[in-house]
Structure formats: C-alpha cells, structure tokens
Structure 1
Amino acid sequence: MPLWASALVATLFVQTVSSFASLAIPLLGPPLMARAGLAPESIGLVSALTSAGICWCLACGGPMLSHHGPVRTLQIGLACLALGLFALSQPLGLLGLFGALAVGFGTGHNTPAGSQILVRAAPPRHRTLIFSIKQAGVPLGGALAGLLVAPMVLAQGLSAALWTIIGVVLLTILLVQPFRQRLDGDRGAGQQGWARALLSPAALARSVRVLRAHPTLPLLTALGVSFSVLQSCLMAFTATYAITRHGASLAEAGRIVAVMQLSSMVGRIALGWLADRTGHALRHLALQAVASALAVALLVAGGDRGPLALYGCAALVGFTAIGWNGVHMAELARVAPQSQVSNVTSAASLFGFGGSICGPLAFTLLVNWSGSYGLAFIVMAVQLAGFGLVSAAVLGRGTGKGGGSHS
C-alpha cells in the first residue's frame, strides 16, 4: 500500500470510530438527561464540556504528540474516549461530567495527529481532497451513530448500548497498531516533559503564538470559529429538536441525524474536490458560510411541512454547515510551515472548539429564555452569515491573495 494510502486508511478509520462514539452522546441526550432528572436542553452542558476537553487537548497536547508519535497518540486518545464513555454509562453527576471532559480530550487528538500524518504523505496536488476524505470520517461516524445507536438502546437498554460502543473503541486501538511502525518513525525527539505540559499555561500560550506564522491564519482561524459555533449546535441539538419540536421518536431522530451526517460526508469530499480545482479555499469558505446560514433558516422554516421536508432540509444543512471542515483543515496545513503543521492545526482548532463550548451554552440559554429552538438556530446562523460577509469583504480588499488550495 502506498504511504499516502496507509496514512489515509489509518486516520480515516480512527476518525470514523471516534466520531461514532462521541456523536452517540447527543443522540442519547433525551434518555441521558431524563435519567438525570434534567431538561432535554441540558445536553448542551455535556456538549460544552466535551468541547472543553478537546480544547485542553489541542492547547497542551503538542508535546505528547511529539513524544509518542501520531499513531500512538491516536491510540491514547481512543483509550481516553473509552474511559469517558464508561463514566457516562454511570448515573449522571460529577462522574458523568468528568466523562464528557475525557471524551473531548480523547477525540481532540484526531486533528493534529491526523494532519501530521497526512501532510507528510499526501501528494500536494490532491492534498485538499485527501484531507477532506479523512474529515469525512466525522459525518460517516455520525451517520453510523444515527442509524445504530437508537436500535441498540431499544434492544439492549441505555447502559448496554454504551458498553457496546466502548467495545468498538477498544477494538480500534488494536486494529491500528500495525500502522504504527510505518507512520510513527520520528517520535520521541526532546519531548520528555509531555505529561507536565498537559497542565502548563506556557503550552497554551505557545499554541496561540503559532498562529502568527502566516498572515492569513488569523482570518482563517476566526472563520473556523464561526463555523464551529453553528456546527456544534447542530450536532448537539438536532436530535432533541426533532423529538421536542416535531414529535419524532428516538429512532426517527437518529435517522434525521444520519441523513444530515451522510450529506455532510458527501459535502466534505465534493467541496474539497471543488477547492482543489478552483484554488480559492478562503473565498470558498466565506461563501459557504452564507449558504450554511440560509440552509439552517430553511430547516427552521421548512421543517413543519412534513417528514420529507425535514429530511431534505437536514441534508442541505449537513452538506453546507457541516461540510466545511476538510477544506479548512487542508488550507491550514497548506499555509503553515511544514514543521509547524500539527501546532497550527491544533491552535486553530483550539479556537474553533472554544466556539464549540460557547455555541451550545448560548443555545441552551436562548432556549431557556425564549422556549424556541428555532430562534436559537436562527441566531447561530445569523452570526455565521455575518462573519462570512465580513470575510468576503476582507478578501475582496486583497487579504485573501495566495489563500488558495494549491501548493
């Protein structure tokens, strides 16, 4: 197998399983919250803590990645994910909140480790497409969760379903071991203090400073934050929205989420191919921001027109509002100095997952205040549309020159 193919298989497999396991949590939101005696929208707190765990990983996990190598780091992340799911399988409380943090820390390694593997192995002329295929593992895992989790809960019960997911995660750790020798060749250089760095404020400061490495990185990072705010709300609340607003069953809500995720998978690959052909990734993302906001408005306005309309709107939202990440990640890797790719993608993703913390929390507050999921979705869509228009204006004045996808 060519090196780029080995790299893509390993990263796509881990990305898919991590996504399947972590995105099962919001799908289980109503029964998890009901078991804890909390309102359905309280799943936003679990989502925010998961994003906080991702931020912790991205801010302080760079030395850990350098010490162990990307494949071993992905395996450690999967182990943390399994531990977090175990905590969540217990009655919610402080242990469950710790579990959400551990799930986030475990999934946070996928971005920097995967980027480090792929930027070394991917042919430059197909880099955006290969990154987008790898990122398609996120919606693929989400779609599998949408199709499988509800039937597992109905057949086995909530705790047994979580244990099944834990087993899949642990098996994945073993299955990616054969890739380690080929892809972890440069591990261990000068990073013996990686454990201390996990609690180091200096590591956080370094992860922020690295975004000065290229003039387009601040704008690209900020646009990613705005996308992340909306995406995190769609991930956290779509199933609960379908159940509480449209009377969907848990299984039907899972199918709606699966349609949204599968459409996102197609969107990531198609938009990555388009960005490679046009060579204008930043401008492409700015326009996609506006299209994503319009798609969410259609979901809110058109969802009442029957199940077919609801599924169609969910597919459109998935293609646009959740289909941006592969192009964004490839552009970050393209403009970053090669020695700083994992650090740049970590730092930019850190800010993005900061948006993933704020988004669900703000959404929960809006629903508590207004009683309307639709209004909360519209507010999140408007902020993305506004930022997309501002980004397009800045690019029009010349900031985006050189911001294409080709090397």
Structure 2
Amino acid sequence: MSPWAVLTAAMTAGTAVSLIGQAYPTLAPFIRADLGLSLAAVGLLNTFIYLGTMLGSLPSGWLTDKLGSRTVMIVGTLIGAGLAVAVAVLARSQWMFIPLLFLVGLVVASATPAGAQAVAQSFPPERRGLVIGLRQMAVPLGGALAAAILPAVAHFADWRWASVVAALLAVVAALVAARLYYESLPTKAPPRGAHPALTQVLRERNILLAGIAGVTLPTGQFVMITYLILFLKERYGVPELTGAVLLTAAQFAGAFSRVFWSWLSDKMGGQRKPLLVMMVGLAGLFALVLAWLPSGTPLLLKALIVVLYGATALGWQGLHFSLLTELSPPGWEGRVVGFGLIFTSIGIASAPPLFGLLVDFSNNYALGWIAQAAVFGIGALLLSNIVERPRNQG
C-alpha cells in the first residue's frame, strides 16, 4: 500500500473529526441565540468538548498502539457522525448539550494518535516532519470547512441542520479512509530488553516539557474559533458572514503554514524546537496587534492581521506532534502523542471560557488578547528548554 494513500486516509478522517469538534464553537452565534448563552458559556462549548478529549487522549493512544491506527481512525469518525446527529436531535437545552459535547470530545481524542502513528510508520524519518505536518493540516482544514459551510447552512436553515451536514461529511470521510487504508501497518516493537514502564516514559524530562508546553499552544487557535466572529462584530461592526469568511481564511492560513514549517524543519536537519519557539513568539506578537487594532482600521488590513495570526497561532501542531513522536521510544508513539494531547486539551478547554470571562468583566476585548499573548510567551519559554535528539541516526 502506498504511504501517500495512508496519509490521504489520515487527512480525510482527521478533517472530518476536526470539523465536528469545531462545529459548535464555529456555530456559537447561532447556538447562543437559540439557547441564550452568555459569552463565558459560549467558551464552555470548547471546554466540554476538550474535557472529553483530555480524558480520552491516553486511552486513545493505547488503543491505537494495540488495535492499529486504521481501526481507531475509521470507527472514531463514524461515531463522531452519530454524535453530530444526536446533537441535532437531542440538544434542546444547554443541559442536554453538555454530555453530548463531552462525548464529541472523546471522539476528537481518537484522531491525532491514530493519524500521527499511521503516517509516522509509513514514511522514512527524513520526511516525518512534512507528513505529520500534512496530517495535522486536517485540524485547521476541518475548522476552515466548518467556518465555510456550517454558518451558511445555519443562516439559511438552522444550526441543527448544520450539525447534520457535519455528520454526513464524516460518513463520507470514513468510507474514503476505509477504501484507501485497507490494512493496519505493523507497530515497531521496542528493542529486546527495552520495555520501559509508561510512568517512566512520561516522566522523561523532554517529553514532560513538550507536553506541558502543549497547554499553551492551542489556546490562540480555539479562542479565535470561538470568539473571532463575535469580536469582529461587537468591536468593529463586521457582519457575521464576513467574519466567517475571515475565520475561514485564517484557518486555511494555519493549515498551510503548519505544513510549511514542518517541511522547513525537515530541511533544517529535523530540528523542530527552533521553528516552534519562533512561531509561538510571532503568534504572541499578532495577539498584541489584535488587542490594539484601532476601530477605524480598513477591512483589508483587519483581514491581513487575522490571516497572519492564523498562520502563526495555528501553525504549531505538525512541529509539536513530530517532536513528541521523535521523543517517544519505538512502539510508544500513540501513547506519547496521547499524553501530549491531554495537555493540549487542557489549554483548549480552559482558554475560551477564561477569555470570555476577561472580556465580560472588563468589557474590553483588548485584555483578552493581551492575556493570550502572555500565554504564548510562557509556551515559548517552556519549549526553549527542550533538548532534541540528534537526527543523524534516522
């Protein structure tokens, strides 16, 4: 089987799962009007999804190592489709919404360990950054499709119909992935006599630093997904559909930037840390620009700043998960990536409601964006202390 077929399957399934995971924050203006949510409650849409992701990450990594990435990838996508239909039918109040969002999060947890393991085992080490970057492109690509399709469906029909559309797309993606990725790849066994305990692996200094830094990395992405349309509307009077177009552009910029940075890291000898630290620092800078952008700024300049923010704040995943995969002992990739996903899920779950609380209490979006820049600064500091393995041994 062609490794490119495996990559295509992983990207297709990952995009569909990401679309479902980001559908409800993207639909926040419509859900807020329907269920009467506050800004802080809108942030909790992400919190409950990624609480499920946090608790499901390590089990998903273990299942990936044990059952194979194909099984986890396809079954997870189909379960996600079923849950999207359940949300459309059953979520008649915020109290019915919460447990369904948690279950969606459990499904979101399955995509990254399965996809990262599949492509890492299918390609040689000198291409690992590029292919994991391409696989992780599925996350903002799913978000971009969610922003491009679902608000329009919600505008002309209802947000529940938008959830059904997300489910249909996931079913199609699962069928495509099953067709392309028709066998499980063998898992590389650890060398004889090298069977470290899970707790020993996860306490290794560099893995721990990379994992903890992961709390900070996705915060800008999911604050943007949850609040950008509201921010542009309430601060600058930008219509919702125009805001959705800018969010789509930022998501596409993030999707392509993570591939570019991952490819560049391969060309620079496989070192992930330097580019990752630089990118996180730039994301903090653009967050500050958003905080202080004058109200009379032309729409085209607003769009440029939003796109540059997306290209940096969303560009971390390929490098981060490549780094975790390469810090992992052979055969433990799924579990180590799942371990890292626990921390990224904490950041995703906590950042949007905290951002919303800051804005609610200060009545000023600038404070939220300044806090976001500070979070990126902490992430860059943690990442700068990681010691990467030399790449010359492949």
What TM-score does the superposition give when structure 1 sets the normalisation length?
A: 0.87
Shift of 1:317: 0.7
2: CA distance between counterparts of 1:334 and 1:177? 27
> Is the contact between residue 137 and residue 318 of structure 2 (CA under 8 Å) also seen in structure 1?
yes
| 1:4-403 matches, cutoff 5 A | 4-89=3-88, 90-183=91-184, 210-212=201-203, 214-279=204-269, 280-302=271-293, 304=295, 305-389=297-381, 391-392=383-384, 394=385, 400=387, 402=389
> How much has 1:152 moved relative to structure 2?
1.4
User: Percent identity at matched positions?
Assistant: 22
Q: Structure 1 284/180 Cα, relative in aligned 2: closer, same or farther at 3 Å?
A: closer
Deviation at 1:52, TM superposition (A): 0.6
Q: By how many angstroms is 1:311 displaced? A: 0.8
Task: Tell whether the 8 Å contact from 1:33 to 1:43 is kept in structure 2 after alignment.
Answer: yes
CA contact (8 A) 1:128 1:405 kept: no
Contact kept in structure 1, 2:286 and 2:309, CA below 8 Å: yes
Report if the CA contact (8 A) 2:287-2:372 is conserved: no
Taking the aligned partners of 1:335 and 1:368, their CA distance within structure 2 comes to 41
**Equivalents in 1 of 2:328, 2:185: separation in Å?**
21
The 10-residue stretch of structure 1 (302-311 or 118-127) with the greater mean CA deviation from structure 2: 302-311
Task: Give the conservation status (yes or no) of the 8 Å contact 2:218–2:313.
Answer: no
C-alpha distance 387-159 of structure 1, shift in aligned 2 (>3 A) = closer
In 2: Cα distance, 1:358 partner to 1:377 partner: 15
Conserved? CA contact 1:139–1:265, under 8 Å: yes
Select between 358-367 and 111-120 the one with higher mean Cα deviation.
358-367
How far off is 1:323 after superposition? Answer: 0.4
- Structure 2 counterpart of 1:340, which letter? W
RMSD (Å), alpha carbons: 2.3
Distance between the aligned counterparts of 2:199 and 2:78, measured in 1? 27
Structure 2 stretches of 5 or more lacking a match?
188-196
| Alpha-carbon displacement from aligned partner over 1:115-171 (angstroms, at most 9, x marks no partner) | 221121012111100110111111122212222222212232222222122111123
2-structure distance, mates of 1:266, 1:31: 28
Q: Identify if the C-alpha distance between structure 1 residues 41 and 256 changes in structure 2 by more than 3 Å, giving closer, same or farther.
A: farther
- Equivalent pair of 1:124/1:406 in contact (CA under 8 Å): no
1:209 shift after superposition: 5.0
1:98 Cα offset (Å): 1.3
Please give the alpha-carbon distance, in whole angstroms, between the structure 2 residues aligned to 1:270 and 1:308: 24
Would you say the 8 A contact 1:44–1:360 is kept in 2? yes
Instruction: Give the partner amino acid of 1:143.
Output: A
| Distance in structure 2 (CA, Å) of the matches to 1:52 and 1:141 | 20
The C-alpha deviation readout for 1:64-107, integer Å capped at 9, x for no partner, is: 33454212212222233223323432323222111211211111
Q: Distance in 1 between matches of 2:13 and 2:392?
A: 25
Rounded to whole Å, the distance in 2 between the matches of 1:43 and 1:403 is: 44
Cα deviation, 1:353-383, whole Å, max 9, x if unaligned, reads 1121221232122122112222112102112
Read off the aligned partner of 1:159 and give its amino acid letter.
R
Conserved in 2, the CA contact under 8 Å of 1:76 and 1:106? Answer: no
In 2, are the aligned partners of 1:227 and 1:384 still within 8 Å (CA)?
yes
| 1:193 corresponds to | none
Contact map agreement 1:125 1:406 (CA 8 A) in 2: no
The 2-side partners of 1:68 and 1:37 are apart by 42
Q: Residue 303 of structure 1: CA displacement?
A: 6.3
Q: Which letter maps to 1:234?
A: M
Question: SS state of the match for residue 288, structure 1?
Answer: helix
The separation in 2 between residues aligned to 1:351 and 1:389, in whole angstroms, is: 16
* Other structure's SS at 1:216 match: helix
In 1, distance between residues paired with 2:342 and 2:130? 23
In structure 2, do the counterparts of structure 1 residues 81 and 372 end up closer, same or farther at CA, with 3 Å as the change threshold?
A: farther
CA contact (8 A) 2:216 2:344 kept: yes
2:47 and 2:353 in contact (8 A); partners too:
yes
CA distance 1:168–1:14, shift in 2 (3 Å): same
Change (3 A) 1:312 1:167: same
Q: Distance in 2 between matches of 1:245 and 1:139?
A: 25
**SS, match of residue 238 in structure 2:** coil
Gap regions ≥5 residues in structure 1: 187-205
Letter in 2 for 1:112: P
> How far is the alpha carbon of 1:346 from its aligned partner?
0.3
Count of residue pairs brought into register by the alignment: 382
1: CA distance, partners of 2:377 / 2:222: 16
In structure 1, how many angstroms separate the alpha carbons of the residues matched to 2:341 and 2:280?
Answer: 17
Deviations 1:232-274 (A, max 9, x none): 2222222222222222222112101101111101211110111
